[in-house]
Amino acid sequence: MDKTYAIISPAGGFKEDMPGILIDDLYTPGSPSINVLFKYGAISKVKGRKKHISTQVPDGEEINLLHNFIQTSGNEFFIAGTKSKIYNWDGTEWVDITGELIFSGDDTDFWSFTNYGDYFLFTNGKDDVYKWSGTGNIGTLSGAPLGRFIVNFKNYVVIGQLSNYPNRIAWSSVGEMENWTGGDSGEAIIDDSERIMGFAKTTDYLVIFKQRAIYLLRYVGGDIPFTVDKRVERIGCYSPFSIVVLNNRVYFFGANKRIYMFDGIEAHNISEPIAQTLDNIREPNFPLIYGYTLENLNQVFWLIPEGDTE
Instruction: Read off φ and ψ for residue 297, nearest 5 degrees.
Output: -105, 0
Of 157, 200, 202, the C-alpha closest to 175 is: 157
Query: Residue 285: helix, strand or coil by DSSP?
Result: helix
Give 27's Cβ-side CA count (13 Å radius): 16
Give pLDDT, residue 32. Answer: 47
- The two most distant CA atoms of the chain are separated, in Å, by 70
Query: Residue 273: helix, strand or coil by DSSP?
Result: helix
Residue 33 banded pLDDT, cuts 50, 70, 90: very low
**Cβ contact 103:62 at 8 Å:** no
R_g of the chain, CA atoms, integer Å: 21
Can you give the residue ranges of every domain in the chain? 1-48, 238-310
* Predicted model pTM: 0.85
Residue 43 banded pLDDT, cuts 50, 70, 90: low
**Cβ contact 249:206 at 8 Å:** no
Q: What angle do CA 54, 65, 79 make, to 5 degrees?
A: 65
pLDDT digits (tens, 9 = 90+) for 90-135: 999 999 999 999 999 998 899 999 999 999 999 999 999 999 999 9
Strand partners, 303: 290
pLDDT at 146 over 90: yes
Of 97, 85, 89, 91, the C-alpha closest to 60 is: 85
Instruction: Read off φ and ψ for residue 117, nearest 5 degrees.
Output: 60, -120
For the chain, where are the alpha helices, taking DSSP H only? 275-279
Strand partners, 253: 259
Q: By mean pLDDT, which of 73-82, 217-226, 287-296 is the weakest? A: 287-296
Give pLDDT, residue 213. Answer: 97
Integer Cα distance of 248 and 295 in angstroms: 12
Of 132, 127, 142, 209, the C-alpha closest to 172 is: 142
Residue 50 banded pLDDT, cuts 50, 70, 90: low
Integer Cα distance of 256 and 237 in angstroms: 10
Residue 255 banded pLDDT, cuts 50, 70, 90: confident
Give me the mean pLDDT over the 20-27 stretch.
64
> What residues contact 143, with CB distance under 8 A and at least 6 apart?
172, 178, 179, 180, 181
pLDDT digits (tens, 9 = 90+) for 158-208: 999 999 999 999 999 999 999 999 999 999 999 989 999 999 999 999 999
CB count in 10 Å sphere of residue 235:
21
**Cβ contact 177:213 at 8 Å:** no
Give me the mean pLDDT over the 71-77 stretch.
93
**Cβ contact 213:198 at 8 Å:** no
DSSP code, position 275: H
pLDDT at 25 over 60: yes
pLDDT digits (tens, 9 = 90+) for 200-219: 999 999 999 999 999 999 99
- More confidently predicted of 37 and 199: 199
pLDDT over 70, % of the chain: 82
Query: Residue 65: helix, strand or coil by DSSP?
Result: strand
pLDDT at 71 over 80: yes
Give me the mean pLDDT over the 234-250 stretch.
95
Integer Cα distance of 169 and 158 in angstroms: 7
Give Cα separations from 215 to 196, 207, 242 (angstroms). Answer: 10, 6, 17
- Find the length of the chain: 310
